[in-house]
Amino acid sequence: MATELIVALDYPKAEQALELVQAVRSQKLDVIWKVGSELFMASGPEFVRKLTQGGGRVFLDLKFHDIPNTVTKAAAQACELGVAMFTLHIAGGSDMVEAVMKEVQKAAKPPIVLGVTVLTSFDESGWKKTAEAVSGQRPQGLISDSVSRLAAAGAHWGLTGIVCSAHEIGRVQKAAPDLYTVVPGIRPAGSNAQDQARILTPAEAAQQGASAIVVGRPITQAAKPVEAIASILKELASA
C-alpha cells in the first residue's frame, strides 16, 4: 500500500482548522486529519464529530496513559466519535492495552489502536537521561532497542498499529511485521526541524516502509498549505 499522509491540525481554534479542511476537500486531496491535545482542548469532541460525520478520517492523538479502567472508557468514547485511529502509551502495560483492545472490538468499525513508543523529540542523550532518572541506572541500549521491545510487547498484547520514528521502522517491522506504522517527525527537504530530533523526508519515510506519515507545521505554517499538502502527496506517490 502507498504511504498515507496524516495532516496534523496544529491550530488553537477549530475555525482555523476547518478552513484548511474545507480547502483540501475542495481539491479532493486524500488525507487523514490528526487532532492533538491543543485543538482537542480548544474545541472538544464536537469538532472531531464534525470531521468524521463529514466523511473525514481522523487520527485522535491524545496518547492515553492511565489505569486500565480509565483508558478503556476513553477508548470507548473515541470509538463513539468514529475516529479511524487513536494513540495510547505502550508503557501503560499489558492490562491497559489488552483491556482497550477488547473494548474497541465492540465497535462496528474498530479503529486502529496505535502504541506510542519513544517520542520523536528525544535524541539518544535525552532518552538516556530520562531512562536513568526512572531506573536509577545508565542504560546501555539505544532508542531503537527500546522502540523494538515496546513494539514487540504492544503487538503481543493485541495492538494494531505503532508510532515510531522512521529511523526505527526496519526494527519495528522485524519485531512486529503486521503493525500499521505511523511516523511523525517528518520534514520536507529544506524545512526547519524545530523540536523534532529524529527526522526524515516524506520520500525517505515511504522508502523505509511507513504506512503513514504525520506532517504538521511544515503544512500549517506554510504560506500555501494546500499546495504543501499536494506536494507531499506527489512525493509519496513517486517514492
Q: Residues 108-139: pLDDT tens digits?
A: 999 999 999 988 788 888 988 888 898 888 77
Q: Contact, 9 vs 17, CB < 8 A?
A: yes
Average pLDDT on 131-149 reads 84
DSSP-assigned states of every residue in 110-138: PPEEEEE-S-TT--HHHHHHHHHHHHSS-
Angstrom distance (rounded) from CA 40 to CA 132: 33
For 75, the grid coordinates are: 477508548
pLDDT at 18 > cutoff 70: yes
Instruction: Give 123 or 219, the one with higher predicted confidence.
Output: 219
- pLDDT at position 195 is 47
The whole-model pTM stands at 0.91
Residue 197's pLDDT is 47
Neighbours of 80 (CB within 10 A): 11
Provide the pLDDT for residue 120. Answer: 75
Mean pLDDT, residues 208-226: 94
Catalytic residue IDs: 63
Contacts of 203 (CB under 8 A, 6+ apart): 235, 236, 238, 239
The CA-based angle 78-88-47, given to 5 degrees, is 35
Report whether 206 contacts 236 (CB < 8 A).
Answer: yes
What CATH superfamily is the domain 4-238? Aldolase class I (3.20.20.70)
